Amino acid sequence: MASVAKREWTHNGESKFAWVVRYVDEAGKRRMRTFERKKEADKFRTHAETEVEAGTHTPRSVALRMSEICELFLRYSEGRLRDGKIGKGCHQNLTMIVDQSIVPRLGGRLITDLTFKDIEAWYEWLAKVKRYSPSTMTHRMRTLQQVESFAFRRKLIRKKVIAEFLAEIGRPPIDPIRTFSKGEILHLLKTAESTDRVYKPACHLLARLFVNLAGCCGLRHGEIAGLTLCNVDLELGIIHVRHRLTKFDDLKSPKTISGLRDVPMPEHIRTMLREWVTLFYKVNDRELLFQSERGGSMHSICFHAGHWKPLLVRAGYNGKDGWPHFHALRHFAASFMISTGMPMPDVASLLGHKKFDTTLQIYAHPIVGGGRHHEIIQSMAAQLMPLATQQGRNNGQQTIDLATV
Q: How confident is the model at residue 403 (pLDDT cuts 50, 70, 90)?
A: very low
Query: Does 46 fall in a domain?
Result: yes
Indicate if 265 and 316 belong to the same structural domain. yes
Query: Does 174 fall in a domain?
Result: no
Phi and psi at 312, nearest 5°, equal: -60, -40
pLDDT by residue (tens digit) across 369-387?
444 555 555 666 666 665 5
* Distance separating alpha carbons of residues 298 and 241, to the nearest angstrom: 16
Query: Does 227 fall in a domain?
Result: yes
pLDDT of residue 265: 92
Q: Which of 169, 202, 218 is the C-terminal boundary of a domain?
A: 169
* Distance separating alpha carbons of residues 135 and 175, to the nearest angstrom: 6
pLDDT by residue (tens digit) across 23-76?
777 667 777 778 788 888 888 788 777 776 766 656 665 568 899 999 999 999
What are the C-alpha distances in Å from 292 to residues 206, 229, 280?
A: 9, 15, 10
Mean pLDDT on 278-297: 87
Query: Does 176 fall in a domain?
Result: no
Contact present, 214 and 336 (Cβ < 8 Å): no
pLDDT of residue 284: 92
Indicate if 186 and 198 belong to the same structural domain. yes
pLDDT of residue 352: 87
Indicate if 236 and 281 belong to the same structural domain. yes
Higher pLDDT, 382 or 103: 103
pLDDT at residue 100 is higher than 60: yes
| Residues spanned by the domain of 400 | 371-405
Q: Which of 57, 77, 100 is the C-terminal boundary of a domain?
A: 57
Q: What's the half-sphere exposure (Cβ side, CA atoms, 13 Å) at 31?
A: 21
pLDDT of residue 399: 44
For residue 307, which of 239, 213, 233 has the smallest C-alpha distance? 213
Contact present, 89 and 248 (Cβ < 8 Å): yes
Least confident of 73-82, 91-100, 272-281, 290-299: 290-299
pLDDT at residue 188 is higher than 50: yes
Higher pLDDT, 375 or 341: 341
pLDDT at residue 239 is higher than 70: yes
Amino acid residing at 254: P
Instruction: Kindly tell me the burial class for residue 238, based on how many C-beta atoms sit within 10 Å of its own C-beta (0-12, 13-18, 19 or more).
Output: middle
Query: Does 177 fall in a domain?
Result: no
* Distance separating alpha carbons of residues 269 and 214, to the nearest angstrom: 11
pLDDT of residue 268: 92
pLDDT by residue (tens digit) across 197-217?
667 888 889 999 999 999 999
**CATH number of domain containing 110:** 1.10.150.130
Q: How confident is the model at residue 404 (pLDDT cuts 50, 70, 90)?
A: very low
Indicate if 296 and 390 belong to the same structural domain. no
Instruction: Kindly tell me the burial class for residue 126, based on how many C-beta atoms sit within 10 Å of its own C-beta (0-12, 13-18, 19 or more).
Output: middle
Query: Does 334 fall in a domain?
Result: yes
Q: How many CB atoms lie within 10 A of CB 282?
A: 13
Does the pTM of the predicted model rise above 0.75?
A: no
Indicate if 46 and 141 belong to the same structural domain. no
pLDDT of residue 400: 39
Indicate if 30 and 78 belong to the same structural domain. no
Contact present, 175 and 138 (Cβ < 8 Å): no
* Distance separating alpha carbons of residues 5 and 8, to the nearest angstrom: 10
Indicate if 351 and 237 belong to the same structural domain. yes
Query: Does 88 fall in a domain?
Result: yes
Contact present, 268 and 234 (Cβ < 8 Å): no
Indicate if 288 and 360 belong to the same structural domain. yes
Indicate if 362 and 376 belong to the same structural domain. no
Count of domains forming the chain: 4
Indicate if 277 and 311 belong to the same structural domain. yes
* Distance separating alpha carbons of residues 64 and 67, to the nearest angstrom: 8
Phi and psi at 363, nearest 5°, equal: -110, -25
* Distance separating alpha carbons of residues 359 and 378, to the nearest angstrom: 25
Indicate if 72 and 32 belong to the same structural domain. no
Tell me the β-bridge partners of 8: 17
pLDDT of residue 380: 61
Percent pLDDT > 90 in the chain is: 32
pLDDT by residue (tens digit) across 300-332?
777 888 889 888 888 888 766 667 889 989 988
Tell me the β-bridge partners of 17: 8
pLDDT of residue 305: 84
Higher pLDDT, 320 or 221: 221
* Distance separating alpha carbons of residues 104 and 83, to the nearest angstrom: 29
Query: Does 363 fall in a domain?
Result: yes
Average pLDDT, the chain: 81
Signed CA dihedral, 264, 266, 272, 275: sign only: positive
List alpha helices for 194-294, DSSP H. 201-217, 221-225, 267-279
Q: How confident is the model at residue 362 (pLDDT cuts 50, 70, 90)?
A: low
Indicate if 219 and 325 belong to the same structural domain. yes
Higher pLDDT, 143 or 394: 143
Higher pLDDT, 47 or 163: 163
